[in-house]
Amino acid sequence: MTAPSRTPGASTSGFGLSTEARNLHWLLTNLVEEVPGLLSVAVVSSDGLLLLSSDPGRNAERPADHSGGPKGSSADLATIVSGVGSLTIGAAKLMDAGSVKQTMVAMEQGSLFVMAISDGSLLGVHATPDCDMSVVAYHMALFVGRAGHVLTPELRSELRQSMESAQ
């Protein structure tokens, strides 16, 4: 069986996404559905652009209670993930500590997890404060292991275009 054409702009499904992009969406959906306590998930490119989100259609500000995730659009989580990722990478360089594998921030009303993907992208998760951190980290590592090797420059470009069109 041969892989679908990687011609830019070519539609390989009824949804206009390549098999690889559909597979990443499926992996993200499974992560959100299988792990209790996840509120929002984002995959962010190394340059800070949102590639994939558990709520790609959300681009208006949330109600005042913010119960479903960060205030505002799904890009808010991407911005937070990118900033935290950049900060921890800088800290690791200053400390001669090697590459950053995962960052976790525990807050009164939630938790933030950021995990590096092999191509320089980041996986970010906003979770409830009572989530099982080891379960979240385990499932994030599974996602990173499955997704990391397929995030080619072509796929990142396709995902960016998909996110832009969803908004």
Note the pLDDT tens digit of each residue in 50-86: 999 987 554 334 444 445 555 555 778 999 999 999 9
Alpha-carbon distance values, 4 to 13, 80, 152 (Å): 10, 34, 15
Q: What is the pLDDT of residues 26-54, one digit of tens each?
A: 999 999 999 999 999 999 998 889 999 98
Q: How many structural domains comprise the chain?
A: 1
CATH number of the CATH domain containing 82: 3.30.450.30
* pTM, to two decimals: 0.81
Domain assignment present for 27: yes
Nearest to 155 by CA among 4, 41, 14: 4
Q: Which structure tokens are listed for 142? A: 């599974």
Which pLDDT does position 55 carry in this prediction? 78
CA distance 111 to 76: 15
- On whether residue 13 sits in a domain, the answer given is no
Q: Is residue 5 part of a domain?
A: no
- Give the residue numbers spanning the domain of 80: 19-56+69-166
The pLDDT of residue 132: 96
**Is residue 91 in a domain?**
yes
> In this predicted model, what pLDDT tens digit does every residue of 93-135 receive, in sequence order?
999 999 999 999 999 999 999 999 987 899 999 999 999 999 9
Tell whether 73 is covered by a domain.
yes
